[in-house]
Amino acid sequence: MKKTLFALILLVALLLTSACSTKSKSQQLQDAVMIGDHITVQKLIDDGVYVNVKYSLDVTPLMMAAFSGHNKVVDILCKNGADINAQDADNSTALIVAAAKQHIDVLKVLIKHGADLNMKTKSGGNALSTPADKGYTEVAKILIDSGIDVNSKDNGGFTALMWSAKEGHLEIVKMLVNKGADVNAKLSDGVTTLMMVAMLGHKDVAEFLIKNSADVNAKSNKGSSALMAAKAKGHEDIVQLLLDNGSEKFLELKSKDKGTFIIPVTGK
């Protein structure tokens, strides 16, 4: 998600800021940060370089260090006044970048220095969005245990639980639910996490959600249910699971042209 976009932003920033043959201190800082030369970074800081300089597309030295995984450089910058919550052109922060790149040590350093866990990109995602979607279990655990908002929604209405559940990442689903994630949150069209899972065939995730109070009879704005989604996709094991857990055995479908009609649904 955000990893590819930030990589492009960083590449453009590097190209645009390295054109001069005689490099300023800020350009020297950029070079040192990118290769993880913490000794030179500290020397430049001692010489008065501005640590919050913004390169092209509003990328900062701290973001570059986070992207490259240089935890020592990140620590030095944070100790010397770097704006830990600065945002680039996409509104990504160093924390969001580190999480997307799975740089565990950098993530820990940023959290130790007080990085805001809940800042969002322009698409509305926070630092947990990519790890939840991609299945980065260790990254997700650190963020969740550190108190990130597990019910935050992006601009599409997706929560971290939805991202992880639809991809079948059961361990992350468990961590989120155990920390209070809303199992019955809905998208703007009324679709729930259980409906997504039923459609995609992740039975283990569906079982866990149901055990943790997911509404098996919730309806989308169009009247669809998890049972309907599972039946339509041929996931008979999930159909049976839903029926065994109280799902309505008859589906009421509404059509503008044909009115309302009932379809019986049975398991195996």
Give tens-digit pLDDT for 87-106: 999 999 999 999 999 999 99
Q: Which structural domain, as residue segments, surrounds residue 56?
A: 1-116
Domain end, chosen from 60, 85, 116, is at 116
Q: Answer whether residue 11 shows pLDDT above 70.
A: no
Q: Do the domain assignments include residue 69?
A: yes
Does one domain contain both 187 and 90?
no
CATH code of residue 9 = 1.25.40.20
Alpha carbon of residue 49 to chain centroid: 34
pLDDT of 32 reads 98
- Hey, how many other C-beta atoms are within 10 angstroms of the C-beta on 204? 11
Is there a contact between 193 and 229 (Cβ–Cβ < 8 Å)?
no
Domain end, chosen from 116, 135, 151, is at 116
H or E element that contains 251:
strand 250-255
Q: Each residue of 234-251: b (16+ CB within 10 Å) or e?
A: ebeebbbbbbeeebeeeb
Amino acid of residue 36: G
* pLDDT tens by residue, 241-259: 999 999 987 665 555 565 5
